Chains A and B, each alone.
Chain A
Amino acid sequence: MAEDTFEPKIVGFLCNWCSYAGADLAGTSRMRYPQNLRIIRVPCSGRVDPLFVLKAFQDGADGVMVLGCHPGDCHYQQGNYFAQRRYALMHRLLEFTGLEPDRLFVEWVSASEGKKFADVTTAFTDRIRSIGPSPLKRQPAAAPVLAAQEVTQ
């Protein structure tokens, strides 16, 4: 894929109570944000097992966003605190294994922050577009090369 036509695939895990409502607000307020984002609604940012992020990268995502409620605002009191610890470590581990640190993005977006949602999505998509495709993407199988003999026959 040529560099200028590269359109990143981005998976976003959005907390139902804050960030998903924030995305909804961005939509109803007619704000523009890139279509590269595939939103997955989850009950809480604490529900986003780091396995989800790994699975997304394994299956070809170029970037993953995890958006949740601001600390102290979690619908379940503590889910985002657990998420914070988890992603602090996960980010550093992914970085250590050679993934560009920018490919994972965790942020707090509340239900009233439609503008912030549109802004972070746009900024994140632009960043991924400039980094290029994920190195973990499955390479398409090479076309079988015919032996010279077979070609002549």
Chain B
Amino acid sequence: MTTMERQIRSAAQQLLANGQVSCVIGYERSPRGNVRPAFVYQAGDVDRLVWDCDCNLDLVTYVHNFKTPPRRGVPVPKVAIVVRPCDARAINLLIYEQQIKRENVQVIGVTCTGTEVRGQQRLACSLCHERVPVVYDVLIESDVEPDLPVAQEEYADIGEMENWTPAQRLEYWTHEFDRCIRCYACRQACPGCYCFECVAEQVDPHWTSIALELPEKHFFHVMRAFHLAGRCVACDACEAACPMDIPLSKLNRKLAKEVEALFGYRTGDDPRTAPPLATFSPDERLRM
């Protein structure tokens, strides 16, 4: 057990024992050794919680399960969540979008040193310079001195793709989208995708059919990326969840790049600033 795990467990134990929260959402190891989300309701169960470089899910997704009271006449349950710096931005986003109230969520912030997928450091983590979450109630200090990533251009791969011809990009994305099985794991893993009824599954109006054809897959992926334009926190949970290894983060990062260039906005800095598509400035004239 690392010192970070000890700190997480003692923080969770305290919150549950004091009755400050009814549930702590954290990471645990499954019997097969994978890291999965854990929902701890009893102070005695906190020893299940773990923290290491395999924790690549965004647990803020699960806060949507605690938005409404379990039955009438009962208050909305309070929960504690273990968050990394990227996830903390999702908390600010959800507070702005009035999905959660700050007082109903206890944030256990982790000083993150980067996470991995199948032993490989993730691209998002290798580019991330953030160590301390933007919002937290309890901060879990890291015991190792993080080796900060070497300074590199954040959108180097996106810039390279922009130099391709449209035909090359189409070929690339046709090849990538072709593998999509439309399991919607990317949507489920995303803290920003929380519509009750997703347009991909809506029947009335019927936006898109369930066919596994290129037009439908293109529709779904562009729609998914665009619904997160200016809202994506770059946690890359979608890409980690994808069973077909589609580089979804490229779409998200392309939009993040444009949002940064056009509006100078970064998601989740604070819970009061509107995302760029939820507001406008009368003087601007953009190339459309």
Q: Which residues of A are at the interface with B, using a C-beta cutoff of 8 A?
A: 50-51, 54-55, 57-59, 71-72, 78, 81-82, 84-101, 106-107, 135-138
A54 and B259 form a contact (CB under 8 A): no
Contacts of A91 in B (CB 8 A): 287-288
State which residues 258-280 of B face A: CB under 8 Å: 258-259, 262-263, 276-277, 280
CA gap between A7 and B193 in the complex, in Å: 39
Q: A84-B288, A88-B287 are in contact. List 17 more A-B contacts (CB 8 A).
A: A55-B208, A58-B218, A78-B280, A81-B282, A85-B263, A85-B276, A85-B280, A89-B229, A90-B226, A93-B258, A96-B169, A97-B169, A98-B169, A98-B171, A99-B166, A136-B218, A137-B215
The B interface, classified by DSSP as helix, strand, loop or mixed, is helix
In the complex, are the beta carbons of A96 and B254 less than 8 A apart?
yes
Residue of A nearest to B261 (CB): A92
Residue of A nearest to B216 (CB): A58
The residue that B166 contacts in the complex, of A57, A98, A107, A137, with Cβ under 8 A, is: A98
Rounded to whole Å, the gap between the CB of A146 and the closest CB of chain B is 25
- Identify A93's interface contact among B216, B226, B284, B287, CB under 8 A: B226
Supposing A89-B259, A93-B229 touch, asked if A51 and B288 sit within 8 A by C-beta, the answer is: no
Contacting pair A94 B222 (CB below 8 A): yes
Instruction: Name which residue of chain B comes closest to A92, CB basis.
Output: B258
B interface residue numbers (CB < 8 A to A): 158, 161-162, 166-174, 199, 207-208, 213-216, 218-219, 221-223, 225-226, 229-230, 251, 254-255, 258-259, 262-263, 276-277, 280-282, 284-288
B170 engages A89 (CB within 8 Å): no
Q: How far is the CB of B210 from chain A (nearest CB, A)?
A: 13
Residues of A within 8 A of B288 (CB): 84, 87-88, 91, 106-107
B209 to chain A, nearest CB (A): 9
Residues of chain B within 8 A of A89, CB atoms compared:
226, 229-230, 255, 258-259, 262, 277
CA distance A84 to B279 in the complex (A): 11
What is the distance, in angstroms, from B156's C-beta to the closest C-beta of chain A?
15
- Asked whether A100 and B226 contact (CB < 8 A) given A58-B219, A92-B258, A93-B251, the answer is no
Collect the chain B residues with CB atoms within 8 Å of residue A87's CB: 288
B132 → chain A closest CB, angstroms: 30
Cα-based distance from A24 to B78 in the complex (angstroms)? 58
Once the chains bind, are B254 and A135 in contact (CB under 8 Å)? Answer: no
User: Are B225 and A98 in touch, CB under 8 angstroms?
Assistant: no
Give the complex CA separation of A60 and B65 in angstroms. 39
Could you tell me the distance in whole angstroms from the C-beta of A144 to the nearest C-beta in chain B? 18
Partner of A84, one of B174, B222, B284: B284
Asked whether B282 lies within 8 Å of A97 as measured between CB atoms, the reply is: no
